[in-house]
Amino acid sequence: MLKRERVVLASLAGLALVATAAFLGLNLRGDLAFALELRGVRLLALVLVAVAVAASTVTFQTVTANRILTPAIMGLDALYAFGQTALVFGLGAYGFASLDPRLKFAGESTLMLVMALALFLPLLRARMDVTLMLLSGVVLGVLFRSLSALLIRLVDPTAFAAIQGASFASFNAVRSDLLAIAGVVTILAVAAIWRARHALDVLALGADPATGLGLDWRRSAVGLLALTALLVAVSTALVGPVVFLGLFVVAVAERLVDTRRHAVLLPAAALVGVVILVGGQALLQHGLGGEGALGIVVEFLGGVVFLALLISEARR
C-alpha cells in the first residue's frame, strides 16, 4: 500500500470516528441510557447501509467493468421494492403483515436474487454497449418502480403514503427489527467480497484479460452479482431505495485514494459511506435541524456526480 493511500484511509477512519461521536453525543438529553441505545441502533443501521452500498457498488462496477454503473442505477433496488410489493400482492396485505419480518426479508432477498441474476447475466454476457445497458437499466428501474406503485394501488387503493414513502430513502426511521439478520448478511457478504479482492482487481481488466489470467469469469461474475444483490437487499430493506448514493460514495473514494485496487478502494468507499451517512445525519439532525432530508440531499449530490461522470466519460 502506498503511503498516500495509508494516509487517506487513516484520515477517513478518523473522520468516520468523529462522525460517529457527533451522531451519538450531540444534544444528548433526558434518559442517557435510553437515548444512547436508540441512537446506537440507528448508528448500526446507518453503518450497515453505508458498508453494504459501498461494497455492492464497487463490486458491481468492477464486474461490469464500468465506473458509471451502480446496482441502484441499474434498477436493482427498484427490483427489490417490486419483489416486496409482489409478495404483498401474492399474499394479501393481511397475510403479509402477519409474516415474521425476517422470513419476509429472506423471501424478498431470494426473489430479488433470482430476478437480478435472470436479468443481468444475459445483459452481461451479451457484452452490450454500456450506454444501452445503462439506459435500459434506468428504464427498468422506472418500470419496476411504477409496477410497485401500481401493485400498491391494487392491493390498497387508498394508499398514498406508501408510494410517497417508497420514493425516497428514509435514514431517520430504520427497520430495527431487521438489524440482526441484515448485520449477519452484510458481514458474510462483505467478507466474501474482501476475500475476492485480488480477483476483483483482475476482473476490473475486463472479461477477456481476466479469463486469460486464469479466472473463470462467468462463475466469478455470477457469485459476485449474487453478493451484490444480497447487499442491495440489505440496504433497501433497512432504509428504502437509494439511487445515487453508491455512485457518489465510490466516486469520492476513488478520487481520494486514486486507485482501483480493491484492497484499498473497498475500505475507503465503506468509510466514505459512513462519513457521509452518519456525519450527514448528525449534521442535519443537530446542526441544520431537519432529519428526514439526508436521503434527498444525497440523491441530489449523487445525481450531479452521475451527470458529471457521464459527460466526462463521453468527452474522452
Residues that bind other proteins (CB under 8 A): 62, 65-67, 129, 131-132, 134-136, 138-140, 142-143, 145-147, 149-150, 153-154, 157-158, 160, 163-164, 167-168, 197-199, 201-202, 204-209, 211-216, 243-244, 254, 258-261, 290, 292-293, 296-297, 299-300, 303-304, 306-307, 310-311, 314-315
For 269, the grid coordinates are 468507499
CB of 308 to other proteins, least distance (A): 10
CB of 229 to other proteins, least distance (A): 21
Report the residue number, 88 or 199, with the smaller CB distance to other proteins.
Answer: 199
Q: What is the spatial distance between Cα 125 and Cα 63, in angstroms, rounded to a whole number?
A: 11
Report the residue number, 187 or 310, with the smaller CB distance to other proteins.
Answer: 310
- Nearest Cα to 268, choosing from 242, 250, 245? 250
Report the residue number, 80 or 105, with the smaller CB distance to other proteins.
Answer: 80
Report the residue number, 104 or 197, with the smaller CB distance to other proteins.
Answer: 197
**DSSP string spanning 19-50?**
HHHHHHHTT--S-HHHHHHHHHHHHHHHHHHH
Q: What is the spatial distance between Cα 100 and Cα 308, in angstroms, rounded to a whole number?
A: 43
Chain centroid to Cα 293, Å, comes to 18
CB of 258 to other proteins, least distance (A): 7
Q: Nearest 5 degrees, angle CA 172-CA 12-CA 255?
A: 100
Q: What is the spatial distance between Cα 311 and Cα 100, in angstroms, rounded to a whole number?
A: 46
CB of 245 to other proteins, least distance (A): 12
Report the residue number, 18 or 163, with the smaller CB distance to other proteins.
Answer: 163
